[in-house]
Amino acid sequence: MISTSTNPLAGNPLATRDDVARAALELFKPLLACFSPGRARVRVGISHAVFDATAAELEGFARPLWGLAPLAAGGFDFLHWDLYREGLANGVDPAHPEYWEEPRNCDQRLVEMAAIGFALALVPEHIWSPLPDAAKHNVARWLHRINEVGIVDNNWLFFRVIVNLGLKRVGAPCNLQAVEAALARLDSFYLGDGWYRDGAENQVDHYIAFAFHFYGLIYAKLSGDAGRAEIFRSRARLFAHDYRRWFAADGAALPFGRSLTYRFAPAGFWGALAFADVEALPWGEVKGVYLRHLRWWSHREIADARGALTIGYAYDNPTMGEQYNSPQSPYWAMKAFLPLALPASHPFWATEEATASPSPHAAAPQRHPGMIIVEDSAHVVALSGGQTVPAHRGAAAKYGKFAYSSRFGFSVGSPMSKRADIMPDNMLTLAHPDRPDRYAIRRDATVVSIEPGFIHTGWTPWEAAAWRQWRNVTVDTWLITTDLPWVLRIHRIKSPTALLSREGGFSIDRTGGEELPQPIERNALVRSAAGLSGICDLEGGRRARIGAPAEQTSLIWPRTLLPLLEGEHAPGEFTLATAIFISTEPDVEPRWSEVPALPDGPWLAL
């Protein structure tokens, strides 16, 4: 059967260095028709991001350089450097109609400068040396602005580091004091065990891999700063052992946090290990995680009819994006191609791809992201204690759910506002009977502790002053590990007022037409070509049902079903005990009747 996919990775075996190089070129090819007449801007679509259209089109120009510069450094032919040189010269020329404009405080232009600085550092012979002196002066002046304006106090500080690395490489004025200050501040974000937080908030997600470690390992390789290079390398070694658990055997990564439209950018971490010569795991295993991840994406519908990457995750889905996503934003995925800079003789490429070391699939506590990772042969599930929810679109869904799965993903919020329309996969919603439309969920956990076999999290559903009468409702939740396909939850709720509750399991592909499966009393199970998803009320008193969430809310499937429990609760203290069933294998269904008993733990003393 001939594939009709427009995904530029489709049909590519992604098994060799040459395969990966072809992938980089194929991903870039649809952008050729999107370059502006002066070559300084690339418009895939009309931007509706929070920043201006000029910055959005600079994204389209700059972001492919994360892959094209390593491609050229590795000796592969890229036939369009003249286009990039022309666009760069025009983009930094104040007299040109396509001038990128002066960068301001916390400007998106500062983000895109990093890709240009990286290209200067890695392949100056292609993007700098052939420029006339006037253009070189403009490039250096424009890039140097990153040292003169304010910058966001998080991973953005690395942009200042990378830009100055490029300026130094080509002999242009740079600011090493600004680099030192940025590195010192970045170091203050280090949590231990290879983990960072992304700025002042307790935010720990894929940015730790494809930002903090990715840029740190580039700096380790190119800076000549031996002391810091060893620090970055040693931290990456530690991080790799935890981050490896975020990848399933089929190559899928755990969808969690923001910026998931960057799709295969997490592969950039594994490639950066190779780039900086850090054998954190045996080279065959590093290569295996890297290639399997790219291959997983080669089977997803991630491009439009032209072959250009879209906003979305497993399909074109703007609903899941952030307010800072423009149509050009997904090209940060090109970070995945960093190891193309290495010769074929490097052990990363020369060693045979290997699977991960045999694992008993034991539950793996990860203190810094506040998770326990459990897995089977098909997918990875993270029980999540919750984090401080950042001010991004859909952030409560991206950080606050009780569980995340590499195969089942998660759902972002429906645009509907009434409680009747809310389908809370892996969430517990609470509402007052008089105001069922004003539901509340876990957003910021006030207590998170990870103990052997469970996570305890305390949270307050209502904190806003407008809902003062409900602010003293408190919830303690225990997420309890057991062997998949089961996971357990206990919620202890204290409320001075009556409440309505709704709790969901995992959303799953809706392949059975319009007729919904029927729940049985307090149990609901959905059978699908994607597997099985169920929920069971262990205490009794709640009604089971199966809902159909709004279309395009799931990251994985456009249409889904969701097993649910709903209840009505009198004022006082009460306990909700829930068993979640999740499997990718239909032959596991007999275990649906084997509901596990609650193990001993602090929840039994309530």
Return the CA Rg of the chain.
25
Look at residue 24 and tell me whether its pLDDT is greater than 60.
Answer: yes
Percentage of the residues of the chain whose pLDDT score is greater than 70: 95
CB 84 within 8 A of CB 115: no
pLDDT at residue number 373: 95
Q: Does the pLDDT value for residue 111 go beyond 60?
A: yes
- Rounded distance, CA 459 to CA 479, Å? 13
pLDDT for 359: 59
Token pair for 126: 């292609």
CA pair distance 308, 327, nearest whole angstrom: 9
Do 262 and 330 form a contact (C-beta atoms < 8 A)?
yes
Segment 213-223, tens digit of pLDDT: 999 999 999 99
pTM, full prediction:
0.95
The whole-number pLDDT of residue 489 equals 96
Is it the case that residue 356 has pLDDT exceeding 90? Answer: no
Tell me if residue 291 falls in helix, strand or coil.
helix
Instruction: State the SS3 of 319-335.
Output: HHCCCCCCCCHHHHHHH
Which helix (DSSP H) or strand (DSSP E) does residue 127 occupy?
helix 124-127
* 91 contacts 58 by C-beta, under 8 angstroms: yes
**Distance, CA of 101 to CA of 91 (rounded, Å):** 8
Phi-psi region of 201 (alpha: psi -120 to 50; beta: other; left: phi over 0): beta
Mean pLDDT of 420-424: 69
CA 64 to CA 45: how far, in whole Å?
16
- For residue range 89-108, what is the model confidence (pLDDT) as tens digits? 999 999 999 999 999 999 99
* pLDDT over 80 at 225, yes or no: yes
Find the mean pLDDT for residues 545-565: 93
Instruction: Write the DSSP symbol of residue 367.
Output: T
